[in-house]
Amino acid sequence: MKKIVIGDIVSRAWDLAVNHWPVFVVISIITSIFSNLGVSYDTTILTGLGQNPDPQAVASALSEALSTNYPMMIIGILLLTYLGFVVYRMLYNAITIGRPYTTLGDALKVDFVQVCVFFCVEIVYGVIVALGTCLCILPGIFLAVRLMFAPMLVAIENVSFGEAFTRSWQMTSGNFWNLFLLGLTAIGIAILGLCACCVGIYFADVIINFMMVLAYMVLRVDNQPEVVVESTDYTEVQ
């Protein structure tokens, strides 16, 4: 049975992030912009909330301060789905061939049907985890770990909807605790990134993304190509 070594995963993810950080930091920033499309806050209402001891008043003020533009939110979700699909492939390429893409145009070309499958897998994965979390939290954590590779499998290997969940369940068998600890490590890295004047979260995001793809590559059932961690001879934009 294949096992992941957390220290090795983190070390290799750091090396890859150092080598390829410019393009992936830019993508991380763009992702944060897309995730906020259609959502805004009235700062005048939020001012002074810290001095209000009443939780109900705070919740009411937050609800009043939040405004949503649903058409823009939908556009943001669709853009995030497309970008997530592309990024998984770029991360995989950076690991296996030493560069995220040959040309940017090629990287952005995707199979529309496969992106739709990717979107459906992400939605179902989120619903399953949410329902599991409602059942005393622990089932949600268990399902989140066991099915974590489903979206990645669709993006990288072009598998079908059902196969994505089946393969993820098989890959994570016997590796729950290692993957759980890897997730806790990712949270710790994200916190450190926030402490670095907040902007460090973007570099931390790159490290975490590489960690997840590296874990997938260790546990995948077929023969994986040789991993390259040190290469910078590629063109970021063409």
3-state SS, the chain, equals CCCCCHHHHHHHHHHHHHHHHHHHHHHHHHHHHHHCCCEEECHHHHCCHHHCCCHHHHHHHHHHHEEECHHHHHHHHHHHHHHHHHHHHHHHHHHHCCCCCCCHHHHHCCCHHHHHHHHHHHHHHHHHHHHHHHCCCHHHHHHHHHCCCHHHHHHHHCCCHHHHHHHHHHHHCCCHHHHHHHHHHHHHHHHHHHHCCCCHHHHHHHHHHHHHHHHHHHHCCCCCCCCCCCCCCCCCCC
Q: For the chain, what is the mean pLDDT?
A: 86
Instruction: Flag whether 49 is in a domain.
Output: no
Q: Whole-angstrom Cα distance, residue 109 to residue 115?
A: 11
Instruction: Flag whether 27 is in a domain.
Output: yes
Instruction: Flag whether 137 is in a domain.
Output: yes
Give pLDDT tens digits for 58-85: 667 666 667 778 888 899 999 999 999 9
Instruction: Flag whether 48 is in a domain.
Output: no
pLDDT tens, N- to C-terminus, the chain (238 residues): 678 899 999 999 999 999 999 999 999 999 999 988 877 766 665 565 555 556 666 667 666 667 778 888 899 999 999 999 999 999 999 999 999 998 888 889 999 999 999 999 999 999 999 999 998 889 999 999 999 999 999 999 999 999 999 999 999 999 999 999 999 999 999 999 988 877 889 999 999 999 999 999 999 866 444 444 444 444 443 3
Instruction: Flag whether 234 is in a domain.
Output: no
Q: Which domain holds residue 113?
A: 6-41+54-219
Half-sphere exposure of 110 (CA within 13 A, CB side): 23
Burial label for 135, CB within 10 Å (0-12, 13-18, 19+), is exposed
Instruction: Flag whether 232 is in a domain.
Output: no
pLDDT at 232: 41
Q: How many domains does the chain divide into?
A: 1
Instruction: Flag whether 235 is in a domain.
Output: no
pTM for the structure as a whole: 0.85
Instruction: Flag whether 151 is in a domain.
Output: yes
213-233: burial string, b at 16+ Cβ within 10 Å, e else: bbbbbbbbeeeeeeeebeeee
Give pLDDT tens digits for 40-52: 766 665 565 555 5
Biggest CA pair distance of the chain: 58
